[in-house]
Amino acid sequence: MTPARVLVIDDDHQMRVSLEHLLGSVNYDVIVAKSAQEGLEAIPANAPDAIISDVRMPEMDGLEFQLKAREISRVPVILISAHGDIPMAVNALQNGAYSFVEKPFDPRRLLGILKNAIRLKRLEDNTIALQDRLAELTDLERILIGNSDQIGVVRDLIFDFAVSKANVLILGETGTGKELVARALHDLGVSAAAPFVAVNCAAIPPERFEETVFGTAQNPRGLMQQADGGTLFLDELSSMPMETQAKILRAIEAKEFQRIGETELQSVDLRVISAASDQIEQRVAEKTFREDLLFRLNTLVIELPNLAERADDVLLLARHYIQRLSQLYELPTPQLTNDDVSALMSHDWPGNVRELQNVSERFVLAQRRGGGSIRVAITKQTSPQHFPITLREAVAAFEREVVSRAIQDKNGRMDDAAASLGIGRRTLNEKIVKLGLDKDALLAGTS
């Protein structure tokens, strides 16, 4: 933590020198001012964490100074005076002064008061910073919108855990917003300006996992090095190769690692946030995921509810996405009919919030050709005759065809199908859900 900055205001040269020496001896960064007016001008220029001001000064005394200081900052003001009395002290405290100390003062007492004042200031700064960052996190609304108790718990945990440096494990089904929660934990934390590096463990070929994460002599900037000082997000945690897990564990515990092909140790200081489904415990039981690594990663745990568990939020979320997407595509916001509401509330949302977003987008885009319905958007019974296909839908159609063909070619052997596609089994399962594929129907069509 950077040294605290203290502004000292006193018209007496000897007192200024004495206070500067005292505060400097305990590593405070000291700024001095010869008058109250000079002190007021120093506040915005130097952003002090606390102010020590004499009371008896010409032109503007300390009592008037602290009133004017409150108008331009939240910096705590400690007043000192050789002529103090109880009424003056009470008046100063009632008008917002942090504390009042009489001269001659005990240096230890003054330092104790100053330390507490600085701690209070920094706590207030952190609180305001968290509120400001939250207001800027537009993507966070995807998981924080809702009135259900379940999403309220998630909101509280994000705020509680964001200020910690402890590792966090996020559990939840596909589409519940695990990466968005991870980014919120980073952006609301004390290292928000530091790097946030996401690693999709299922997307990296097992034989290249170590060099991608740790780097090599030829390519030293591995993902772990890139995340130094910030957050390393391990998504699809259960897909991490077993042979790499021991090295990841050592790197997290020792805060150092070796690049592939090198013997020199590289220091790293980062927070690890991981995401997995609740099947991670089953992977541990099956001995395909190290229990000691899981214990290192799940110091703090956030469990995300699926959309079916927060059914009361479905209508609220749908209206939000429809309004936002209508603005994005510059279309009139369509009104939900009774049948639309019924379709929203009766669907079980296996793809969770991500599926609801996709349905909302199809529903909004249908307005280009005279409108559509939520029920049609859910069942994907849209056609090019209704509205032009979007790039996202074109990519989804291509993925649907490729994945379907792989499942059919491998006669339903999912591990073989995943290998032929170059993805992990877990990722394949997620794509089947996301793309709305029916494995049994695909295989029936090949018989």
Q: What is the arithmetic mean of pLDDT over 209-225?
A: 89
| Within this chain, domains 5-129 and 139-303 share the same CATH topology | yes
Whether residue 33 contacts residue 9, with contact meaning beta carbons closer than 8 Å, is answered with yes
Please state the rounded mean pLDDT for residues 163-168: 91
Between CA 168 and CA 297 the distance in angstroms is 6
- Rounded to 10 degrees, the C-alpha dihedral 297/299/304/305 comes to 120
| 344-362: average pLDDT | 89
Confidence label for 114 from pLDDT (cuts 50, 70 and 90)? very high
The alpha carbon torsion through 415, 419, 421, 425 (nearest 10 deg) reads 40
Is residue 125 predicted with pLDDT exceeding 80?
A: no
User: Which pLDDT belongs to residue 34?
Assistant: 93
Does the pTM exceed 0.75?
Answer: no
139-303 domain in CATH 3.50.50.100? no
- Look up residue 337 and give its amino acid: T
- Residue 381: predicted pLDDT: 44
The pLDDT confidence band at residue 386, using thresholds 50, 70 and 90, is very low
Query: Residue 412: helix, strand or coil by DSSP?
Result: coil
Question: Tens digit of pLDDT for each residue in 75-103?
Answer: 999 998 876 666 777 777 888 888 888 88
Chain mean pLDDT for the chain: 84
Q: 50-68 pLDDT, tens per residue?
A: 999 998 898 898 888 989 9
Q: Does domain 307-388 have CATH number 1.10.8.60?
A: yes
Buried b or exposed e, range 323-360, using 16+ CB within 10 angstroms: ebbbeeeeeeebebeeebeebbeebebebbbbbbbbbb
Q: Find the range with the poorest average confidence among 41-50, 268-277, 388-397.
A: 388-397
Residue 445 has a pLDDT of 47
Query: What fold does the segment set 5-129 form as a domain?
Result: Rossmann fold (3.40.50)
Task: Domain ranges for the chain, please list them.
Answer: 5-129, 139-303, 307-388, 392-444
Q: Is the pLDDT of residue 433 over 80?
A: no
pLDDT at 133: 53
Segment 187-213 mean pLDDT = 88
The dihedrals phi and psi of 31, each to the nearest 5 degrees, come to -115, 135
